[in-house]
Amino acid sequence: MSIFDNLKKAAGGAAKAAVKAAAAAAKEEKQTFTFAVLPESVDELKALPEAALASPFQTAALTVCALCAYAADPEIGIEMLNFLKGPQPLSEYDKQFLRDRFAAGKHIPFSYFEGASAENDYTPARPFKVTVQSNGYSYDNEGYAKLFIPSGGADSPRPIVLRQKGGGQWFLWEQHLMSGIRTPKSQDPWA
């Protein structure tokens, strides 16, 4: 193999890497959803335009709303989450997980709205805005989308996985939004 063959091989590898990076960048997207008020019942949730569940971004944004409803009334939150889960409702394990996480802090889902931070005890700005984003790996598995939602209480966005039913609607598959976040200032003994 000559030196020119090595150069051609290196150039070919660099070109492939550039094409792969461009394809990944093309899959990066951000969508922001605005809610004048948060839904307080499953019927109010279903009345929102995002409830068409036509994109994984819509379902992800509504999941944040449903988790906020759970903070106020767990039964209503479960009804909303079951709507978003589609043909596979929450399992007993899922319900116990939510009970455990909400015992640690009802403020966690509110941290996903713009303006919410530990400094203001996760009080979001009005209207409520949540941003959902994808990256180059979000659609690696056919029929699934792994999206990310930034939190005012975490350094990196949290993942949420959605599953498409028969090429149509997108449903909640799993969420990792209820992980711990920075302690609200009013509850932080070191603040």
66-117 confidence digits (pLDDT tens)? 999 999 999 999 999 999 999 999 999 999 999 999 987 789 999 999 999 9
Q: Could you report the per-residue pLDDT of 47-58, keeping only the tens digit for each?
A: 999 999 999 999
**Could you read off the pLDDT of 112-153 as tens digits, one per residue?**
999 999 999 999 999 999 999 999 999 999 999 999 999 999
Across all residues in the chain, what is the average pLDDT? 90
pLDDT category of residue 40 using cuts at 50, 70 and 90: very high
User: What is the DSSP track for 7-39?
Assistant: HHHHHHHHHHHHHHHHHHHHT--EEEEEESS--
Evaluate if residue 30 carries a pLDDT over 90: yes
